[in-house]
Amino acid sequence: MSKCARGRCPRELVGLVLCLVPFHYAMAFTDGVVASVAGEPILRSEIMQEIMPQIQSLSASSASEEELERQIEPFFQEALESAIEHFILYKEAQTLKVEVPEDEVEKRVKEIRGQYDSQEAYQKALEGAGYTMSNFRDRLRRQMMALAVGMNKRRQFEKEAVVSEEDIQRYYQEHQEEFSFPARYRASRIFIATSREDTDERKAAQEKLSALRAQILAGGDLAELAREHSDGPEAKEGGMMGWIRPGDLVEPLDSALTRLKVGEVTEVLDTEFGVQLMRLEEIQDQGVVPFEEARREIEPRLRQQRGEERYRQWMSTLRKRSNVRVFL
């Protein structure tokens, strides 16, 4: 049984979905052109393919056909807008002569294949979504090209955004609730990156980190061990993560940290991207983050907001130039 069938259907980078839902279910709705971009059609069946997991979930609730259509509509509209944007970005990628190396496409194909228990389950998923191996690979390449253009533009606009000291101070004053905390924790960590699917690699990382934990408990220098062994971005700073508020970390990290006393070290913790341990360095009671500390968080946030505004303006210009028409 595939992971789709067990309710954990993997989503592709920009919405490409493989799921064991019968293709004829989507095709049962009247097909036709729902939009066009630069004169090229987008079919209703293509959008239905993209929302198959939602269709599967909603149909399992035994809703009437009318209720099912009503519930599907917002998913359909969102997927249609996403498909239009991806198509526009793909056309822009062609204009810019963006290329995706064959080995990167192959890597993504293998990652998606790895989500299934067998080659047979993977091929059934492809067939169920209406793809052949060849057109799935082509679809994946096109979406990777579109994603590359979109990400590069967002980075460019964020980099070019102008954020003044006055802007930062105004944001700080107007969003005091964001910088108030009931308590916060300063922690350091050692993180070892692993693949969740590679059980041998993860087991080796757990054993290595257990040995490092034993060294720390015996008086070893966590900071030096972090500089030598950690894969985290804060490794150069001796693993120091800085101040963390409750809810900032994913589970099981958040609850593990908040249970510690100052100086204590967690057990080895499993996360999606690897294994890690943390030591609680300091606790601060209720208060407000000082401006000089908050500004390091505010500036990139404002850059991202303004970059996103410019990105949306740029996409609007491309959309007009692409003569987008929606037939709904």
Least confident of 26-30, 68-72, 102-106, 292-296: 26-30
User: What's the confidence (pLDDT) of residue 62?
Assistant: 58
Regarding whether 232 and 147 lie in a shared domain, the answer is no
More confident of the two residues 204 and 112? 204
Least confident of 27-36, 46-55, 279-288, 290-299: 27-36
Number of independent structural domains in the chain: 2
Per-residue burial over 35-59, b = 16 or more CB atoms within 10 Å of its CB, e = otherwise: bbbeeeebebbbbbbbbbbbbbebe
The answer to whether residue 31 is domain-embedded is yes
The per-residue pLDDT for range 71-112, each reduced to its tens digit, is: 888 999 999 999 999 999 999 999 999 999 999 999 999 888
Instruction: Return the closest-CA partner of residue 113 out of 12, 229, 225.
Output: 12
Give me the percent of the chain exceeding a pLDDT of 70: 90
Regarding whether 222 and 282 lie in a shared domain, the answer is yes
Give me the percent of the chain exceeding a pLDDT of 90: 64
The per-residue pLDDT for range 249-269, each reduced to its tens digit, is: 999 999 999 999 999 999 999
Regarding whether 125 and 29 lie in a shared domain, the answer is yes
Regarding whether 52 and 148 lie in a shared domain, the answer is yes
Stretch 218-239: mean pLDDT: 96
The answer to whether residue 89 is domain-embedded is yes
Name the amino acid, one letter, at 149.
V
The span from the CA of 288 to the CA of 19, in Å, is 47
The mean pLDDT value of the chain amounts to 87
The answer to whether residue 76 is domain-embedded is yes
CATH number at residue 38: 1.10.4030.10
Regarding whether 272 and 195 lie in a shared domain, the answer is yes
The answer to whether residue 199 is domain-embedded is yes
The per-residue pLDDT for range 131-189, each reduced to its tens digit, is: 888 888 998 999 999 999 999 999 999 999 999 999 999 999 999 999 998 889 999 99
User: What's the confidence (pLDDT) of residue 263?
Assistant: 96
Regarding whether 104 and 149 lie in a shared domain, the answer is yes
CATH number at residue 273: 3.10.50.40
Side-chain half-sphere exposure of 136, counting CA atoms within 13 A? 24
The span from the CA of 82 to the CA of 47, in Å, is 10
Per-residue confidence band for 228, with pLDDT thresholds at 50, 70 and 90 = very high
Whether the CB-CB separation of 12 and 140 falls below 8 Å is answered with yes
Regarding whether 125 and 71 lie in a shared domain, the answer is yes
Regarding whether 132 and 38 lie in a shared domain, the answer is yes
Regarding whether 143 and 80 lie in a shared domain, the answer is yes
Regarding whether 205 and 121 lie in a shared domain, the answer is no
The answer to whether residue 1 is domain-embedded is no
User: What's the confidence (pLDDT) of residue 69?
Assistant: 79
Per-residue confidence band for 9, with pLDDT thresholds at 50, 70 and 90 = very low
The answer to whether residue 166 is domain-embedded is no
The answer to whether residue 72 is domain-embedded is yes
Regarding whether 207 and 91 lie in a shared domain, the answer is no
Regarding whether 223 and 119 lie in a shared domain, the answer is no
The span from the CA of 2 to the CA of 258, in Å, is 37
Per-residue burial over 303-313, b = 16 or more CB atoms within 10 Å of its CB, e = otherwise: beebbeebbee
Beta bridge partners of 287: 181
The answer to whether residue 312 is domain-embedded is no
Q: Provide the domain limits for residue 82.
A: 23-153
The span from the CA of 85 to the CA of 76, in Å, is 14
